[in-house]
Chain A
Amino acid sequence: MSVTPDDVRKVARLSRIKISDERVEPMAQELNGILNWIEQLNEVDVEGVEPMTSVVEMSLPMRKDEITDGNRSDEVLANAPNSADGFFVVPKVVE
């Protein structure tokens, strides 16, 4: 597996992360280093071993269908850079 500079640019764009041109090549090398390191795991034989989904044996916790939250739009909007009439206000999005 090898990450190219184009992969880095694409992933950065999809994640809305700004990355300068001179950082692209080093970033690709760093990511390749990480991936190569993780690939050592392929040496382990996992034939017949069920994927582990949690370090403790437990099932998905569930909650009852009750309204326990809400009516806190002031708090919800508190960190918004811009809001009006109870709405978040964001730069114009065109479909």
Chain B
Amino acid sequence: MGLEVHAQITSNSKLFSGSSTHFGADPNSNVSLVDTALPGMLPVINEHCVEQAVRTGLGLNAKINLFSRFDRKNYFYPDLPQGYQISQFQYPIVGEGEIEVELEDGPTITVGIERLHMEQDAGKSIHDLDPNATYVDLNRSGVALMEIVSKPDIRSPKEASAYVKKLRSIVVALGTCNGVMAEGNLRADVNVSVCKVGGYDKFRETGDFSHLGTRCEIKNVNSFRFIEQAAEFEARRQVNLIEDGGVVDQETRLFDAETGVTRSMRSKEDAHDYRYFPDPDLLPLKLTQEYVDNIKANLPELPDQKKERFVSEYGLKAYDAGVLAAEADKAAFFEEVAKGRDAKMAANWVTQELFGYLNKFDLELADSPVSSKQLGGLIDLIANKTISGKIAKDVFQKLIEEDDADPAVIVERDGLKQVTDTGAIEKVVDEIMAANPDQVEQVKAQFAEGHKKPKALGWFVGQAMKASGGKANPQAVNEILKQKLGI
């Protein structure tokens, strides 16, 4: 598989005109006479968009081309008033690069980037407002896009979605695209082909595409889940077709999210005859190495660098570091919780308890009922032995349920303080031992047989914890038990 990802460049105004890129405005209000391609209008490039494209190229470890050029891609559609899209065909602004993609089950793959180029987005056609007509809104027309083309290094639906997730985390960290897939700001064209076992390896050795099957392109897939579903369905469709003696035709297909199938767009045979030629309205885009170096020197910390720092600075496991570093808001939340505290404990509470809860209820971190300050306060109470880890989970639940609660106040109010008073614990242990002479004998017997940690001891710890309502300090209980049982 190879992916073409369209990412909307974060900018105030469009690529070649001064109208706004703001999403959700009234129809045709963010439209200038340049965007409608009225006679005599000329495109003037937005310098910030150029900078954003270069920044993204650097984030993809890619070659920045100091010379690039704009071409016209000609096709006819009502949401494209110019009759052509201004794009970069022959000389893109960014050349080859590569990124590391972590897969959920552990391994990391390298996905090559073929190129990145700038182009204009088209307007929006609305087909369901009128049974006999199509409504066109040009607000999106002319908004700057980056098309990021991968090499055919992706070999499964999971790898495809992991690649787009990584791409998204990079552009969001760079601030070059907001990554909001629901608004179409990041969408993927998924190219799928299948080949016989061994064919792909031959392709990798020789670079000869004839070892790969004929590809189909699935257009505009706009969620991670749909990317996986579309790729899964399409690969299966092609395999079934070939096994039934058929041939895969190279074509453009659409993914229907409701039925989970891809279908042919039934496009005319010359639909892809784009007749590219250099746009005579625009001079070539020439950059200096100094300009590129200056952008490079001011790049923000990227997810991979952040991950490395989390491993080296906080001693986190690579997987946890990756989860926390992937998204800027999660990373910032973690660092607020970890500041001045045991970082591993902070990572556990953030990834296990908090993210576990958010995932379960499909919530974003921005909607979290527990703030970094509250979670930090909770961890302080564990660290200074005010409460046990087990009680902390109950307090966490209360933080979720109550508004703006202070964990220390909850512990005080509900009498959850850990009992470290050995006198009180001894009393509990004495009572349990007196009531269960058989168990006492069993522990002693197990110990005499050479068991350093007799199984029955665990039973006593459990009873003591239960009798104290979970508030006894487990270590203190353990020590007192051992002492009293003489083991």
Contacts and interface: CB of A to CB of B under 8 A. Distances in A.
Contact of B19 (A67, A90, A91): A67
Contacts of A72: 31-33
Contacts of A59: 283, 286
B44 A88 contact: no
B397 interface: no
Given A14-B74, A77-B28, A69 B19 contact: yes
Contacts of B33: 69, 72, 75-76
Interface stretch (B108-116, B133-141, B165-173, B197-205): B133-141
B273 interface: yes
B12 to A, nearest CB: 5
Interface in B343-374: none
Contacts of A63: 18, 44-47
A76 B28 contact: yes
A14 B227 CA distance: 32
Contacts of A54: 283
B136 A90 contact: yes
A91 B11 contact: no
A68 to B, nearest CB: 3
Contacts of B185: none
Kindly name the residue among A10, A76, A89 whose own CB sees the greatest number of chain B CB atoms within 10 A: A76
Interface residues of B, number: 51
Given A62-B44, A75-B33, A89-B130, A14 B273 contact: yes
Interface stretch (A22-30, A31-39, A40-48, A79-87): A79-87
A62 B384 CA distance: 59
A71 interface: yes
Contacts of B138: 76, 88
Query: What is the predominant secondary structure among interface residues of chain B facing chain A?
Result: loop
B284 A60 contact: yes
Nearest to B16: A63
Interface in B244-284: 254, 265, 270, 273, 275, 282-284
Given A14-B76, A93-B125, A65 B48 contact: yes
A58 B324 CA distance: 48
Nearest to B68: A60
A73 B141 CA distance: 14
Nearest to A90: B78
B270 A14 contact: yes
B124 to A, nearest CB: 10
Nearest to A64: B47
Given A61-B45, A76-B138, A93-B127, 19 more contacts: A14-B270, A53-B283, A60-B285, A60-B286, A63-B18, A63-B47, A64-B48, A69-B32, A69-B34, A70-B19, A70-B29, A71-B30, A72-B31, A73-B28, A76-B36, A88-B78, A89-B134, A92-B131, A93-B125
9 contacts: A10-B270, A62-B44, A62-B46, A65-B47, A66-B13, A67-B19, A68-B13, A76-B31, A93-B127
> Closest 5 CB pairs between A and B?
A68-B18, A65-B48, A69-B32, A87-B135, A62-B47
Interface of B: 11-13, 17-20, 26-34, 36, 44-50, 74, 76-78, 125-127, 129-138, 254, 265, 270, 273, 275, 282-286
